[in-house]
Amino acid sequence: MDRSNQSEALRSAQSLMQSLTSMVDAAFSEVRHRCVDRESGRLNAALLDENQQVSYELAFVVAELAATSALVSKADFGGELETLVALAQWSCALNAAQSRLLPIADECGLERDGLCSFFNQQSLVALQTKFGSSKALARLGERLCAAEIQRLPSVLDTDKEMMRATFERFANEIVAPRAEAIHRQDLDIPDEILIPAAELGCFGTCIPERFGGLQPDDKPDSLSMIVVTEELSRGSLGAAGSLITRPEIAARALLAGGTDEQQQKWLPKLAAGKTLCAISITEPNTGSDVASVALRATRTETGWKLNGAKTWCTFAGRSELLVVLARTEDDRDLGYRGLSLFLVEKPACVGHEFTVEQDGGGMLSGRAIATLGYRGMHSFELAFDEFVVPESALLGGEAARGRGFYYTMAGFAGGRIQTAARATGLMQAALEKAMSYARERSTFGTPLASYQLIQIKIAKMFATVSASRQFSYDVAALMDEGAGQMEASLVKLFSCRAAETVTREAMQIHGGMGYAEEMAVSRYFVDARVLSIFEGAEEVLALKVIARELIENAKVI
């Protein structure tokens, strides 16, 4: 396929996606029309809840189209392989959109006949036949396996590619050999991983250079964090992929609202990995509803007393700093405006349980929650009982009291895009294992990689991973420009759901061996399941963040 034909096919694909996006925009407008209170002109929460399924499906269509558009746009700067992969992803995305939209067409104002006409138009069918048919996908999969192509050519600059290669070696040589034991025995992450990770600057990717981090002082650099996270997650999600997450969220909160003294005290320690940290936001009865946090912080003569419970506080045992969201105001009607962040110091504790007792009788206790996967860091239930912290623990000091929710959100946006990178790294690991096994394993005298169905699976997996990677790169650039909040939510929604599919397919390609714990793909599968839950559960992200904003901003019909 010559260059002009590649460009023409890609332009046609983009044009068709834009047309479909316009239809989706019209659907959001219809949902807005149905959910607006006629008197106030504002969205009615009860009416929104009556349209949850429609909103959920529309949010996913938007995420899938956005990820695919990122890959198709970039393919125009590449060669034939990039075009074939991008258009394979495009075909899969449009098939998925059709499956999501047709069942809800009547509920969101889309005419079924109009939808069917769109998906059956000649130009669309021609592109799908050429690039998304069984034969086309099989040829692509065969090509990838035969040439042992595990990823598209890098689009990173020299410095970023060098950084990626460094952490790729670290994942291969240090993380991967220890990953299975950590997972099967539910061990703490050993110093053999933590110390060299710190020496490589792993913990400082999101902290400015003036505090000892790797990020330039004059501009943000989210892409470095994405690149490092992906490679660490490729080695192991539980043992390495999340090492950056907690210091990244803590650093964003400190940079957004911390005092000069707090920044000078904590950021250099976090960047160097001398202080490990955990983020304590979620409570047993609140889940993703951050504004309903109830853990109480009561002022004393010298500081604050914390009372209440937290849950799903990952890495709380080994951490020496907990970033805790607590309610500082008596008036519960203040909601999220009554919350503040605290920087709580504690000694590092190994194992699955710990208790910290203070001289005055205060206590902090933690118990690790047994989990299906994502082992190594351990997620803890925490109980604060009259636990005393000094006045200096209040993030931002008295001037920032009541602004904890905003500082938490500042960290979460970065957490979402980083979670997408974790998903990409996990998918990359699964793809590599699947391709290797398909080449080496034979059934009925024929290598698995020679079967059409396996070739198609690999082609789709490869396209999905490529879309996730490119979308996360694009969102990182947007965030560095001060934008990209919506896109960060979209890339998390797409990549985390995709990780479940890709790791499942990797298990299927392994057959019975895929179910054996001795094969890494079984770990990838159970690890992937957590991605759609933390840093914003899939349903909450789709409904309360993505769909809510798109409905709010939709044009009035």
80 flagged as catalytic:
no
- Three-state SS sequence of 408-419: HHHHHHHHHHHH
Cα separation of 9 and 380, whole Å?
51
The residue length of the chain stands at 557
**Nearest by Cα to 281 from 454, 414, 148, 411:** 411
> Which H or E run includes 64?
helix 52-75
Query: Tokens 């605290």 — which residue?
Result: 342
CB 369 within 8 A of CB 186: no
User: Residue 513 carries which DSSP code?
Assistant: G
- Positive or negative, the Cα torsion across 37, 40, 43, 49? negative
- 363-368 and 379-390 beta bridge pairing: antiparallel
One DSSP character per residue, 260-279 reads HHHHHHHHHHHHHTSS-EEE
Cα separation of 406 and 386, whole Å?
26
- Three-state SS sequence of 19-63: HHHHHHHHHHHHHHHHHECCCCCCECHHHHHCCHHHHHHHHHHHH
CB 311 within 8 A of CB 384: no
Cα separation of 200 and 198, whole Å?
5
| Residue 164, amino acid | R
Cα separation of 279 and 377, whole Å?
12
**412 contact partners, CB below 8 Å, separation of at least 6:** 249, 535, 536
Cα separation of 330 and 294, whole Å?
11
User: CA 316 → CA 243, 270, 273, 363, 530, distances in Å?
Assistant: 13, 15, 15, 15, 18
User: Residue 514 carries which DSSP code?
Assistant: G
Task: Show the DSSP H helices in 393-530 as ranges.
Answer: 404-440, 452-480, 485-510, 520-528
CB 380 within 8 A of CB 367: yes
CB 250 within 8 A of CB 265: no
Cα separation of 409 and 291, whole Å?
11
Cα separation of 228 and 267, whole Å?
19
Q: Which of 142, 248, 283, 535 is catalytic?
A: 535
CB 105 within 8 A of CB 57: no
Catalytic machinery residues: 535
